[in-house]
Amino acid sequence: MVRISDIIKNQELINKPGTSARNRVSISEVLTAEDIMGERISPGLRAPTSMEEEEAKIFLENTLKTLDRAFMIVKGGKIFSIEPFVILAEKFVSSVDKYDNIYMLQEYKDYGETDYLKNCLWTALISVKIGRRLGFSKQELSELFLAGLFHDIGIQELENGILSKKGEFSTSERKQIEKHPDYGKDILFDLGEPYRYLSEAASQEHERIDGSGYPKALSGNEISIYARIIGLADSYEAMTHTRPYHQRALPLMATKEIVEKMRGKFDTRIIKAFLEEVTMFPVGSFVRLNNREVGRVIAAMSSAHFRHVVQILFGPNGERLIKPKTINLMEAHLLYIAEPVDERTLT
């Protein structure tokens, strides 16, 4: 559990017993108290309209359908056309500010354990958010979106059933899985010189700056900036969604894993941008306020981690409200999010 008092006092973001001081991260290293409480953010935070939700969902559905067709073409041994995706990338970058809450609501939802198309889409979304925080240009963000969409295209070459296996992989299965970045590199290389960055990102996104990744054990700046961003985004996305070998983790717990255990594997500035851009309590997640009421986040701003718009569904004693109420924590200054709640525990 994260306590707001710990945050404001600049104590550790996540305080796990037994964690060495060297591996602890103070919130002051990444965000100020004003950022956390959202006091510098406009109080005009609102939930998206039904029309905005419909527009955003249509875009996401079209992107998934187009991606599915491309993957099927690759499965058939042919090369797909990149042009439709260039258009989609430009539209996404132009819409991410307007539809951010809707995109993140869809991203929060769990999906089929082996639905790699959604993994690619949500990895691309999170990557763009990180790139935006790093100050990338629109062209760079479009390229990053494309690289995120195709980061795992090489899994088309894996044996059927390997991705749906429950439990640990055998040594031979692990070796096969670790070849998929090279498969992706070869597939995307055929798109031509202008898209070599896609081939490079696919081949490197499982590399880590400390040299612990695969398939080449590259380190530091040997790994492209796109691959470094996608690697972090893909790790977070995988942790927060169910896989055959693990249950989904709450976003806050996934953030804890990244901050505590992956600091040496990803660039500090990329982790910082991630923490600034991807809230610990995303739209769709359930939270408990400091007055013990429980609700679902329906609108959020990345720089106001504890002051989102929350639809209250349960009272302080756990009773379900007959009529839910909505609270904008940007305006209700005495209330704030105290901790996340696993919706699977709610009745």
- Average pLDDT rounded to a whole number, residues 22-49: 53
Measured between alpha carbons, how far is 40 from 304 in angstroms, rounded to an integer?
8
Q: What is the pLDDT of residue 44?
A: 56
Q: Are strands 320-328 and 337-341 parallel, antiparallel or unpaired?
A: unpaired
Query: Predicted confidence band at 334 (pLDDT cuts at 50, 70, 90)?
Result: confident
pLDDT given for residue 22 in this prediction: 45
* Residue-level pLDDT at 6: 45
**Each residue's pLDDT tens digit, 130-146:** 999 999 999 999 999 99
Q: Does residue 9 register a pLDDT over 50?
A: no
The mean-pLDDT minimum among 202-211, 253-262, 319-328 falls in 253-262
Ranges of H-type helices in the chain: 4-8, 33-37, 50-75, 83-108, 116-133, 138-149, 171-177, 180-189, 196-204, 225-239, 251-261, 268-277
Q: What is the pLDDT of residue 70?
A: 95
Q: How far apart are CA 250 and CA 297, in angstroms?
A: 14
Using pLDDT thresholds of 50, 70 and 90, give the confidence band for residue 21.
very low
User: Do you know the residue count of the chain?
Assistant: 347
Q: Could you give the CA distance from residue 239 to residue 149 in angstroms, rounded to a whole number?
A: 18
Sheet of strand 294-299: strand arrangement: 320-328, 309-314, 294-299, 286-289, 337-341
Question: Which pLDDT belongs to residue 20?
Answer: 46
Query: Which one, of 45, 33, 25, 40, lies nearest residue 4 by Cα?
Result: 33
3 pLDDT above the threshold of 70: no
* CA R_g for the chain: 20
Residues sharing a CB contact under 8 Å with residue 187, sequence separation 6 or more, in sequence order: 74, 79, 153, 154, 156, 202
In the structure, what pLDDT confidence band is assigned to residue 172 with cuts at 50, 70 and 90?
A: confident
pTM of the full structure: 0.86
Distance of CA 63 to the CA centre of its chain: 17
Average pLDDT over residues 18-30: 45
Residue 39 has pLDDT above 60, yes or no: no
What domains lie within the chain, and their CATH numbers?
4-41+283-345 (2.30.30), 50-277 (1.10.3210.10)
d(CA 213, CA 211): 6
pLDDT tier for residue 19 given thresholds of 50, 70 and 90: very low
Q: Residue 38: pLDDT above 70?
A: no
In a 10 Å sphere around its CB, with 0-12 CB exposed, 13-18 middle and 19+ buried, how is residue 79 labelled?
middle
Which carries the bigger pLDDT value, residue 2 or residue 132?
132
- The CA–CA distances, whole Å, from 270 to 65, 133, 226, 262, 339 equal 30, 9, 11, 12, 25
